[in-house]
Amino acid sequence: MAQRRILSQQRAALEDAWARWLTRGAEGTPAGDDAPPRGEVERSWQRSLRTVDPARDCAPSAGDIDARWADSALRAPVTELTGELRTIADDADFVAAVTDETGTILWSCGGRVMRRRAERVNFAPGGQWDEPHMSTNALSLALRTDQPHIVFSAEHLVAALHGWVCYCAPIRAADGRQLGVLDLSTTWDRSHPLAISTVRTLATAIESKLQTRSAMASGVALRCLGTGSLTRDGAPVRLRPRHLEILVLLALDPEGYSHERLHFAIYGDRPVGASTLKSEMSYLQRATGGDITNRVYRLVSPISCDAVDVAAALAAGDTATAVRLYRGPLLPGSETPGILGWRQFLEVGVRTAVLSSGEAEFALRYGRYAPDDIEVHEHALRLLPKHDARRAVAAARSHHALRD
């Protein structure tokens, strides 16, 4: 109770300072004996008052950021740490968020109650939280100064954020470039001095995973959900469908394949000689720069692969990331036994996660790639509020599926 009383007094003092500053300080009138906001906060207020209305109710949206998240260097390490981030957010009533270098949120997680509160101010994927868009907050200060920051209650210029406290730390690449920030936010009455240490530790963990991946990275990126393509250092690598199938199987099973096991995964019971697979593997090794071992067929170094990331998100219980990255069936059109098995695994995994969730957005996103799945469309309709305009999309999909 004593801690809450102290926080309440601190919040009241900041509210008074905020109100006085808006009526006098913003006009350049001396504040007299009134305590001004701390220096870095006041400087941020002064910079952003030209572009941000303190009465705005939420952050503007950058729109659909799926592609940006899919291509972000932060996606893989954040996906690996999703379980830890989700546990911290759930246990301490935080909302966790990761932005890119522009301050646009690419990923977030939190308990349902806190996430709903956050969504009201668009503290969610697509929300733009840099200083020109949302003025003073921990994210914008961390982006600007490249240092960790805490912003409490009425230190936010925007009044809609006065009920929040935010803890934020920058995330840097191995070469020192700022890639974005990690933020933990909660309501002002749950403010705790140890939270900033937690966010620093988590940001450091993300950076450590970035450095490890950078040291091992082969520069190869494989896209196989809803499509099939391979790039090396950004340049397309032309592969026949069979070679893409083999590469996808190796990416999804890092332990590798014996010759016999891979032969069956590719050809099934068809009478295909062992030399055929050896020939295919020789070609694939040349095309990938020798990144495949021989005795056991295994990738020498990990490659970026959308299907691998979806499988990792499912394993971590991160439905939001799994749905965001899922872009359709694994190598559509392939009838290779191993691909068919993994295709079913991913489809069933994502679909089950969607139907187990109370988030209508997940059903709507997944529904794009499951046009004939009546149950998914009906699930979206059950979850969407009566006056939500997106009901039209779910209803149209359901009607189309029923007609077919």
Which domains, and CATH codes, for the chain?
A: 48-216 (3.30.450.40), 218-356 (1.10.10.10)
Write down the pLDDT at residue 339.
Answer: 98
Write down the pLDDT at residue 1.
Answer: 63
Write down the pLDDT at residue 288.
Answer: 72
Query: pLDDT band for position 160 (50/70/90)?
Result: very high
**Beta carbons within 10 angstroms of residue 206's beta carbon:** 23
* 202 sits in which H/E element: helix 195-216
Per the document, the length of the chain is: 404
Parallel, antiparallel, or unpaired: how do β-strands 220-223 and 229-232 relate?
antiparallel
- The neighbouring-strand residues paired with 297 are 257
Q: How far is CA 243 from CA 18, 239, 279, 285, 384, in A?
A: 63, 6, 11, 10, 43
Query: pLDDT band for position 30 (50/70/90)?
Result: very low
Contact residues for 153 (Cβ-Cβ < 8 A; gap 6+): 10, 11, 14, 15, 162, 163, 164, 165, 188
What's the mean pLDDT in 233-250? 90
Write down the pLDDT at residue 25.
Answer: 56
Q: How far is CA 204 from CA 96, 150, 197, 214, 291, in A?
A: 15, 17, 11, 15, 30
Write down the pLDDT at residue 290.
Answer: 65
CB 120 within 8 A of CB 96: no
Residue 404 has pLDDT above 60, yes or no: yes
Write down the pLDDT at residue 32.
Answer: 47
The more confident residue out of 391 and 235 is 391
What's the mean pLDDT in 205-211? 89
Q: Give per-residue pLDDT as tens, 283-299.
A: 888 877 667 888 889 98
* 231 sits in which H/E element: strand 229-232
Percent of the chain with pLDDT over 70: 94
The tokens describing 131, both together, are 């200083």
Distance in Å from the first CA to the final CA of the chain:
61
Residue 262 has pLDDT above 70, yes or no: yes
Residue 27 has pLDDT above 70, yes or no: no
With the C-alpha atoms ordered 314, 318, 323, 326, is the resulting torsion angle positive or negative? negative
Residue 34 has pLDDT above 90, yes or no: no
Task: Give residue 265's Cα distance to chain centre.
Answer: 32
The more confident residue out of 20 and 176 is 20
What's the mean pLDDT in 170-192? 91
